Amino acid sequence: MNKIGNEYVGDISKTQHGFTCQKWKKQWLYAHNFNQNDSFPDLTVTDAGNKCRNPDEDPNGPWCFTTSWDKEIDYCNVPQCDSKHEYKVCVTLSRSTVYHRSLGIPR
């Protein structure tokens, strides 16, 4: 995986350290500027929910604001696509294909 994951649309909503992600449309606990629909691969900010995303193309990959006072942001463990990518959501090396869990088809 190239670690960018800016097209990731999977359902992971817990960070690598177990924190729950804050909804992107919310400004509490943490206020932010990622409130434009075009910042996300989802149709809207609301559709992004509280899922791990990479709206700023952070080189460390998908991340989120957490719902913990102890940690503002944290990165997420998003699996890399491999030759047997069906039945999981992952990010490819090309950043151009994300596979739907259980469908195994390009989105």
For 6-61, what is each residue's pLDDT tens digit?
Answer: 889 999 999 999 999 999 999 999 999 999 999 999 999 999 999 999 999 999 99
pLDDT band at 96 (very low <50, low <70, confident <90, very high): very low
pLDDT at 106 over 70: no
Q: What is the pLDDT of residues 68-79, one digit of tens each?
A: 999 999 999 988
DSSP 5-51: -TT------B-TTSPBBPPTT--SSS--S---GGGSSSSSHHHHTT-
- Are 10 and 101 a contacting pair, CB within 8 Å? yes
What pLDDT does 101 receive? 42
